[in-house]
Amino acid sequence: MAQAKFDFTGRTVLITGGSTGIGRATALAFGEAGASVVIGSRDRDAGEQVAQEIERAGGKASHLRVDVSKDDDVRGLVEHAVATFGGLDVAFNNAGTLPPTGSLTDQTVEDWHRTLAVDLTGVFYSLRHEIRAMLDNGGGSIINTASVAGLIADPGMSPYVAAKHGVIGLTKAAALDYATQGIRVNAIAPGLVRTPMIDGWMNDPEMRDTVLGYSPQQRVSEPEEIAGLVLFLASDLSPFVNGAVYPIDGGQTAH
Ligand SMILES: NC(=O)c1ccc[n+]([C@@H]2O[C@H](COP(=O)([O-])OP(=O)(O)OC[C@H]3O[C@@H](n4cnc5c(N)ncnc54)[C@H](O)[C@@H]3O)[C@@H](O)[C@H]2O)c1
């Protein structure tokens, strides 16, 4: 019974930032679970490689280059998903970027706008096009990637903290607006995940010790450990989960 509900055969899943890290691991997991996967990523080659990996394993996938900070790009990605696979059932709004590390007064206006444009406005653009497509399709499930930085502040990254707190607010607002129309919107709040985003921290011994000090399990998670939660929230195993935020952080925000 539970296994059947984890079968995404016949469903179309759109993933932004799907070429690397958490997005890539989740795209592969959805592919394995039978979904038709549409990957939107900035990097054409890496995105294409993930799509090919899914197809080599017997799945269905397509890739389109997208900049989520551009509304037209995001609309094009959703239209591509619908045209290619006949509808949209699940969306994982996961593309994200970090500002340079620095106190608030050291953050530039440009870094503020760039971070907000991708991490928050990109999610707004994604939601509005995805929800329209899902309303045409009888409903769907959307998962936004926030962060523990959407629940608590980390030092040195104020634009990111503001954007990720915004993603959580946007998630709740969208969940309420469409709760009676078959659409669920939830957020995940990962702690440290071993992806290219945190390579710089992990390769710097001092920074590595600092960030591992935040982790009760004294480790970072692998991207594959995040994918299971996304599939659960996308699946028919979670029909009453809506407007929720799931920390997935090894206990980082438990104290
Ligand atoms: N790695 C962590 O420790 C961690 C922790 C909490 C939350 N997150 C969040 O997880 C998500 C995925 O990050 P990740 O850790 O897998 O790192 P990552 O760098 O591997 O993935 C980020 C992805 O977003 C894409 N992207 C960035 N700007 C984009 C744009 N303008 N348009 C389209 N795509 C764009 C990148 O190309 C990349 O594929 C992000 O939202 C990030 O903020 C990561």
pLDDT above 70: percentage of residues in the chain = 99
pLDDT given at position 104: 98
The mean pLDDT value for 172-201 works out to 96
Buried-state track 212-234, b at ≥16 Cβ within 10 A, e below 16: eebbeeeebbebebbbebbbbbb
Give the residue-averaged pLDDT of 172-190: 98
Q: What is the pLDDT at residue 5?
A: 77
In ligand 1, which atom is closest to the CA atom of 25? 16
Q: Contact, 143 vs 233, CB < 8 A?
A: yes
187 C-beta closer than 6 A to ligand 1: no
Q: Which residues of 159-183 are buried (b: 16+ CB within 10 A; e: fewer)?
A: bbbbbbbbbbebbbebbeebeeeeb
Q: What is the chain's Cα-based Rg?
A: 17
Distances (CA, A) of 172 to 165, 176, 196: 11, 6, 29
Tens digits of residue pLDDT in 146-179: 999 999 998 999 999 999 999 999 999 999 999 9
User: What would the two tokens of residue 240 be?
Assistant: 């009453």
* pLDDT tens per residue across span 223-241: 999 999 999 999 999 999 9
Does 15 contact ligand 1 (Cβ within 6 A)? Answer: no
| Architecture category of domain 2-195+222-247 in CATH | 3-Layer(aba) Sandwich (3.40)
With a 6 Å cutoff on the Cβ, whether 21 touches ligand 1 is: yes
Distance from the CA of 43 to the center of ligand 1, in angstroms? Answer: 12
Which is more confidently placed, 38 or 201?
Answer: 38
Domain residue limits, the chain: 2-195+222-247
Residue 190 has pLDDT above 70, yes or no: yes
Q: Is 36 in the pocket of ligand 1 (CB under 6 A)?
A: no
- Indicate which residue's Cα is closest to atom 43 of ligand 1: 96
Q: Which of 96-110, 114-128, 203-217 bottoms out in mean pLDDT, i.e. has the lowest?
A: 203-217
Decide: 247 in ligand 1 pocket, CB within 6 A. Answer: no
Q: How far is the CA of 56 from the centre of ligand 1 (A)?
A: 25
188-199: average pLDDT: 95
Does any ligand 1 atom lie closer than 6 A to the CB of residue 41? yes
Strands 183-190 and 60-65, bridge-based pairing: unpaired
Of 125, 160, 178, 214, which residue is the catalytic one?
160
Beta strand pairing call for 90-93 and 60-65: unpaired
| pLDDT (average), residues 123-139 | 97
Q: Which of 92, 93, 164, 195 for a ligand 1 pocket mutation test, highest count of atoms within 8 Å of Cβ?
A: 195
CA 75 and chain centroid, separation? 17
Atom of ligand 1 nearest to the CA of 19: 39
Is 80 exceeded by the pLDDT of residue 222? yes
Nearest CA to ligand 1 atom 20: 21
**CA 18 to chain centroid:** 8
Give the pLDDT confidence score for residue 77 in this predicted structure. 98
Confidence of residue 1 (pLDDT cuts 50, 70, 90): low
Q: Which long-range contacts (CB under 8 A, 24 or more apart) does 160-168 make?
A: 160/98, 160/99, 160/115, 160/119, 162/116, 162/120, 163/115, 163/116, 163/119, 163/120, 164/119, 164/189, 166/116, 166/119, 166/120, 167/119, 167/120, 167/123, 168/245
Res 44: pLDDT: 86
Per-residue pLDDT of 4-54, as tens digits, reads 778 999 999 999 999 999 999 999 999 999 999 999 999 989 999 999 999
**pLDDT band at 215; cut points 50, 70, 90:** very high
Q: Which two tokens stand for residue 116?
A: 């907000």
Question: Is residue 3 predicted with pLDDT exceeding 90?
Answer: no
User: Given a cut of 90, is residue 255 above it in pLDDT?
Assistant: no
Residue 212 has pLDDT above 70, yes or no: yes
Q: Which atom of ligand 1 is nearest to the CA of 223?
A: 16
Pairing of strands 60-65, 36-41: parallel
Amino acid at 70: K
